[in-house]
């Protein structure tokens, strides 16, 4: 999953602002909104959340750029048919937030159907008064 929550996942909805007093709740909402944006095909939301210099390494070791992710939104259907996010931790480091969690994604990527559960990390930076994802990484979780 390229967005890690690649993941994949990547968020403030236009006009909606979570309470600023609880950073864990704020980033949990942002991650869930990111997953929802992939399901509804809301490329504008994803484009706004990902920094222009965002990079991600997915569960297969491939690197993704913002441009590559945005290309997924040009098709006749949303890029994902299932996107679930569970945030485990949020570490606040000044103008940087490190978010870790678990994601489950299903959809079509690079012309292939995918279904992947992964542990992920999204790194946010506060730039010009708003949070953006600047880096992500996902590791597939294999069940025995």
Residue 106 lies in a domain: yes
Task: Place 32 in a pLDDT band, splitting at 50, 70 and 90.
Answer: very high
% of the chain beyond a pLDDT of 90: 66
What sign does the CA torsion over 17, 101, 97, 38 have? negative
Q: How far apart are CA 121 and CA 100, in angstroms?
A: 4
Residue 2 lies in a domain: no
Counting the structural domains of the chain, the total is 1
Question: Residue for token digits 């010009």?
Answer: 128
Angle 126-130-133 from CA coordinates, rounded to 5°: 60
Q: Per-residue pLDDT tens for 54-80?
A: 999 999 999 999 999 999 888 778 888
Rounded average pLDDT over 137-142: 95
Task: Name the one residue in this structure whose structure tokens are 């025995």.
Answer: 144
- C-alpha pair distances (Å), 46 with each of 51, 74, 76, 88, 92: 10, 13, 17, 21, 22
The CATH code of the domain that includes 74 is 3.10.450.50
| Cα–Cα distance measured from residue 38 to residue 106, given in angstroms and rounded to the nearest whole number | 10
Q: In which domain, by residue range, is 37 found?
A: 23-140
Residue 4: inside a domain: no
Q: So what's the pLDDT on residue 72?
A: 87
């Amino acid at each position: 999953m390229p967005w890690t929550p690649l993941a994949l996942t990547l968020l403030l909805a236009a006009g909606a602002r979570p309470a600023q007093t609880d950073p864990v709740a704020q980033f949990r909402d942002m991650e869930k909104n990111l997953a929802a944006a992939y399901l509804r095909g809301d490329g504008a939301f994803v484009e706004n959340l990902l920094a222009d210099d965002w990079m991600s390494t997915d569960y297969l070791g491939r690197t993704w750029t913002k441009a590559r992710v945005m290309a997924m939104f040009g098709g006749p259907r949303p890029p994902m048919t299932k996107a679930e996010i569970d945030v485990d931790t949020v570490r606040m480091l000044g103008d940087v937030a490190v978010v870790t969690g678990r994601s489950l994604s299903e959809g079509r990527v690079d012309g292939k159907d995918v279904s992947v559960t992964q542990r992920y990390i999204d790194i946010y930076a506060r730039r010009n008064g708003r949070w953006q994802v600047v880096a992500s990484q996902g590791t597939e979780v294999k069940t025995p």
